[in-house]
Amino acid sequence: MDSLKQKILNDGCIVGNDIIKVDSFLNHQLDVEFLNLIGQEFYRRFRNQPISRILTCEASGIAIATITAQYFKVPVVFAKKSPSKNLDPHTYSAQVYSYTRQSNYEMQVNKGYLLAEDQVLIIDDFLANGQAVLGMAELVRQAGATLVGVGVVVEKGFQPGGAKLQEAGIHLESLAVIDQIENGQIVFRD
Amino acid sequence: MDSLKQKILNDGCIVGNDIIKVDSFLNHQLDVEFLNLIGQEFYRRFRNQPISRILTCEASGIAIATITAQYFKVPVVFAKKSPSKNLDPHTYSAQVYSYTRQSNYEMQVNKGYLLAEDQVLIIDDFLANGQAVLGMAELVRQAGATLVGVGVVVEKGFQPGGAKLQEAGIHLESLAVIDQIENGQIVFRD
């Protein structure tokens, strides 16, 4: 998605050789007009699939998933994060390791909002190590629902998340893949 | 907002005499079509104000604020919650007491995303004790910005948040005010 690559180059902020911050438009301040371009692009890529629900994870996936859902005309459910294991029998639950926080958290969805007949599209802002997406895929599995695919805005191609999803046979669409950050320059995958 | 009251009566879930759960459409599963009605209503109520930015708080305010921002054509910024005091000089920060969790947390916004010239509309899902909204108002104050008003979807009228905002001279618009929950019945304010 060329407009996204341009936006990342214009507005992104590079920290060291592996962190790219896009919180000026994607996950802290939200450029809602631009999020609509992102939503339209996800729709273009998944419009031929029978999607009945979009699943994301709090907090930074919510805005993108909500805007995207307007094009699919389906409900969103966002998984909640909890630091501790919750034994609530009304929720599906997956343990996820956060490399950022170097600790585990529990990701949960109320069983009423993820159904066996659902065709689920997972949407998230970033794909790096893949832990959050694999946690959401586990919630879909527990529900007996079908995972149609995963759409992420930015994939860090130099981290293993993309390969892990491929190994798991999951259809991934990344709107921009960053293969390298070197000397303050972002190298996108073609 | 009559359609909201009806939605709460149809889809809300009452727990005891003080908890009303609306997570089937507002803050876990998201009925995006209905969120657009909410966004339109906030726009109708604040359209004559010169709003330049919508401020909300993760996680459950994000979807409502994002949809609402589409009508105002302004950016959203969502305050992040952190359990501990963060001394980052690049953020405005307010300490907020959570009655739900019975502990304090820190609410933060990057200084680049809340400007002295901003005319801010705060949007949130619930108003109960008012701590989260007052925390956001404090961030606006630190930025030297102008707080135009506060829009909440559901106000629990039997808790002191509304009165606190009134005392602080803040313009509040609540789309539904619940005055009482008694014997499983919701009593709305007219």
- What does the mean pLDDT of chain B come to? 95
Tell me which residue in B29, B32, B69 faces A113 most closely, judged by beta carbons. Answer: B29
Q: Predicted ipTM?
A: 0.96
Smallest CA–CA separation between B38 and chain A, in Å?
A: 14
* H or E element at residue A142: helix A131-143
Confidence of residue A113 (pLDDT cuts 50, 70, 90): very high
* pLDDT of res. A100: 82
Asked if the model's pLDDT at residue A92 lies above 70, the reply is yes
* Chain B residues touching residue A80 (CB < 8 angstroms): 28, 59
Cα first-last separation, chain B: 10
* pLDDT of res. A86: 67
CA B5/CA A141 separation, integer angstroms: 35
Cα-Cα-Cα-Cα torsion A120, A25, A38, B153, nearest 10 degrees, comes to 60
Smallest CA–CA separation between A141 and chain B, in Å?
A: 18
* pLDDT of res. A18: 85
Quick: pLDDT tens for B13-49.
998 888 999 999 999 999 999 999 999 999 999 999 9
- What does the mean pLDDT of chain A come to? 95
Quick: pLDDT tens for B159-180.
999 999 999 999 999 999 999 9
* pLDDT of res. A101: 83
CA B96/CA B83 separation, integer angstroms: 10
Asked if the model's pLDDT at residue A81 lies above 80, the reply is yes
Which residue of A28, A52, A71 is the best one to mutate when testing the B interface, meaning the one whose CB has the most B CBs within 10 A?
A: A28
* pLDDT of res. B83: 79
Burial (CB count <10 Å: 0-12, 13-18, 19+), residue A158: middle
User: Cα A15 vs. chain centroid, distance in angstroms?
Assistant: 21
Tell me which residue in A35, A58, A70 faces B59 most closely, judged by beta carbons. Answer: A58
CA A188/CA A176 separation, integer angstroms: 7
Q: What is the DSSP letter of A56?
A: E
> Which residue of chain A has the CA closest to B112?
A24
* pLDDT of res. B86: 67
Pairing of strands A76-82, B29-30: antiparallel
Quick: pLDDT tens for B75-106.
999 999 987 776 788 999 999 999 888 999 99
Cis status, amide bond into A59, omega within 30 of 0? yes
CA B19/CA A41 separation, integer angstroms: 39
Quick: pLDDT tens for A43-80.
999 999 999 999 999 999 999 999 999 999 999 999 99
Smallest CA–CA separation between B102 and chain A, in Å?
A: 15
Buried b (16+ CB within 10 A) or exposed e, B129-146: bbbbbbbbbbbbeebebb
Do B110 and A28 make contact, defined as CB atoms within 8 angstroms?
yes
CA B19/CA A152 separation, integer angstroms: 35
* Chain A residues touching residue B76 (CB < 8 angstroms): 29-30, 32, 63
Tell me which residue in B23, B66, B78 faces A110 most closely, judged by beta carbons. Answer: B23
Using an 8 Å CB-CB cutoff, list residues of chain A that contact chain B: 23-24, 28-33, 35-36, 58-59, 62-63, 66-67, 69-70, 73-78, 80, 109-110, 112-113
Tell me which residue in A23, A30, A78 faces B76 most closely, judged by beta carbons. Answer: A30
